[in-house]
């Protein structure tokens, strides 16, 4: 496998976690009455992306392959819970 092929596989593995983290970080900031989060933008980005990556890696280890729907469901639950916990009053 070439370096760029390996890079493409890594991008395909972690892109769902990064995309969902970006949406959960930026969309609440569009509403003016949304509660301000406990974390700075940088801390929130690192926490959500790191947690999402860990969920995807755990799914890869448990199931032996990437792209199982149960892994994506766990990703939604974990990142949604973290984003909710960060924004609750």
How far, in Å, CA of 84 to CA of 37, rounded? 9
Q: What is the pTM of this model?
A: 0.87
Judge whether residue 24 has pLDDT over 80: yes
pLDDT in tens, 40-88: 889 999 999 999 999 999 999 999 988 899 999 999 999 999 999 988 8
What is the average per-residue pLDDT within 24-29?
87
pLDDT, position 55 = 96
Given a contact cutoff of 8 angstroms between Cβ atoms, the answer to whether 47 and 39 are in contact is yes
pLDDT, position 89 = 60
* Nearest one of 23, 20, 24 to 84, comparing CA atoms: 24
How far, in Å, CA of 35 to CA of 11, rounded? 32
Confidence of residue 34 (pLDDT cuts 50, 70, 90): confident
Residue ranges of domains in the chain: 15-29+38-87
DSSP secondary structure letters along the chain: --HHHHHHHHHHHHHHHHHHHHHHHHGGGGSTTSPPPSS-HHHHHHHHHHHHHHHHHHHHHHHSSS--HHHHHHHHHHHHHHHHHHH--
């Amino acid at each position: 496998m070439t370096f760029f092929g390996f890079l493409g596989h890594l991008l395909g593995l972690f892109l769902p976690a990064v995309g969902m983290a970006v949406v959960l970080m930026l969309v609440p900031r569009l509403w003016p009455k949304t509660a301000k989060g406990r974390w700075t933008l940088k801390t929130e980005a690192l926490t959500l992306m790191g947690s999402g990556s860990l969920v995807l890696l755990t799914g890869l280890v448990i199931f032996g392959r990437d792209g199982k729907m149960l892994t994506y469901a766990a990703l939604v639950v974990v990142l949604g819970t973290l984003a909710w916990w960060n924004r609750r009053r």
